[in-house]
Amino acid sequence: MKSNRYIPATALALCASLLTITLPAFAEFSGSATLRVGAGASSTCPTGGCFTYGNEVNALGSGNTISIYENSASQEVSASHNKPLLLILAIPNQTTNYFASNPISNVTFYNPYPDTFNTNAGVAGSSFIPAAGVYGLNGPGTEVQSYYGSMTSSNIYSFLNLAEPTNNSNSFTNLQAAELAVNGIVATSFGIHVFAIQNDSTNRILAAKGLANITFNSGALPAGTFAMAYGFKGNYAAGTGKVFSTPFTNAGLTRGGGGPTGTPEPQTLSLFALALSGVALQRRRRGRLAAAS
């Protein structure tokens, strides 16, 4: 005997409503292409690959110049006022706004870098502090000028609410471990600052294999500062386009130079003192053994 099974009308209505739910805009963005961070166009490491933490993280030295290199051979990134490149800085143990004003003094775009005949003099660019909402940019409510808050967990792009379908490698855990290994700084937080970079020429892009050279005021970048980039090409409002970002392996990290973050945390000083006391104890024991023999 067959039994007829009925699906309640309310259940059918629920299924129909689920089918019409609109996905978040960034769900349609394609996977990210790599923006490498280097030490500047005239440095020995303009396009990355100068690792300072195993085979990860590019050394930026203690200078004042950072470069953003578009590693793709065929894809350009928007670099206009409405769709700028974003330069993101993560400063260890910094919990308030670090920069009283925009610390970037010069921006130059090289499209491409270097050119075949080495005649590319570059074109002028500029920088500004982006408004919240650019590519979804947002913070925890403590934003002051370029400062978007203090990160103690998560990863850079999620913390800033930037649409990023594939890259979560710039995590607090990864940054903290590299900071300790490279600079000896015990980071309990990272202050996040964001700057917008634009190409002032008519094409308003960072081309495939192009480089944006960014110069800071002297002494503006403290030791232990991480640098990453973010860009986009397409129609962000419509939720279609491609995300460009920096994986942890190609982020940049400053070294030396001192500054407020160059001072070891109390935990580091305690470990150092413990190590010294151990060395002294070992020497005393050796002295007693020598005297007894």
Chain centroid, CA 210 distance in Å: 18
* Whether residue 9 has pLDDT greater than 60: no
Does residue 14 belong to any structural domain of this protein?
Answer: no
What average pLDDT does the structure give for the chain? 81
pLDDT grade for 63, boundaries at 50, 70 and 90: confident
β 85-92/190-199 pair status: antiparallel
pLDDT tens sequence across 192-241: 999 999 999 988 999 999 999 999 998 889 999 999 999 999 888 877 88
293 located within any domain: no
The segment with the largest mean pLDDT, out of 87-91, 119-123, 270-274, 282-286, is 87-91
CA distances from 148 to 82, 168, 179 (A): 19, 18, 20
Find the helix or strand (DSSP H, E) in which 110 lies.
strand 104-110
| 123 bridge partner residues | 109
Question: How many domains, the chain?
Answer: 1
pLDDT for 131 equals: 87
> Sorting pLDDT into bands at 50, 70 and 90, what band is 74?
confident
Q: Does any domain span residue 91?
A: yes
Q: φ, ψ for residue 249 (rounded to 5)?
A: -60, -25
What's the whole-model pTM score?
A: 0.79
User: Residue 183: CA atoms inside 13 Å, Cβ hemisphere, count?
Assistant: 33
DSSP string of 134-170, one letter each residue: GGG---SS--BTTEEEEESSSBHHHHTT---SS---S
Model pLDDT, residue 30:
63
Q: What DSSP character marks residue 191?
A: E
| Alpha carbon distances (Å) from 282 to 21, 253, 269, 276, 279 | 69, 37, 20, 10, 5
Note down the domain range covering 262: 24-278
Binning pLDDT at 50, 70 and 90, where does residue 86 land? very high
Q: Shortest CA distance to 135 belongs to which of 104, 164, 168, 102?
A: 164
Helices (H), the chain: 9-19, 156-159, 172-183, 266-292
Residue 286 lies in a domain: no
